[in-house]
Amino acid sequence: MNWLEEAEWQKLVGQFKLHVGDTLSVFNLHGLGVFIPGAVDEITELMVDATQKARGADKPYSKKVRIPRKGDI
């Protein structure tokens, strides 16, 4: 398995976040835009954890942060 240099990894993570944010932007139409940044961060963290686990890192694969619900804000 090829490993990415740190700069390439950070670029990949940044691009992933942009794509996820773009995908979730449809929720702006339903008044849920305030939740998009938190969801993007959470999805990205899950991707990073899953990728590191696939590379053999001994990391738990679990949700760490509760995304606020509509009534929480």
Helix 36-54 crosses helix 6-24 at what angle (to 10 degrees)? 140
One-letter amino acid identity for 28? Answer: N
For the entire predicted model, the pTM comes to: 0.72
Sorting pLDDT into bands at 50, 70 and 90, what band is 5? confident
Give the count of beta carbons closer than 10 Å to the beta carbon of residue 44.
Answer: 16
Residue-range domain boundaries for the chain: 9-67
Residue given tokens 């509760």 in the structure block: 66
Model pLDDT for residues 6-37, shown as the tens digit of each residue: 899 899 999 999 999 999 999 999 889 998 99
- Give the closest residue to 51 by CA, choosing from 21, 19, 10: 10
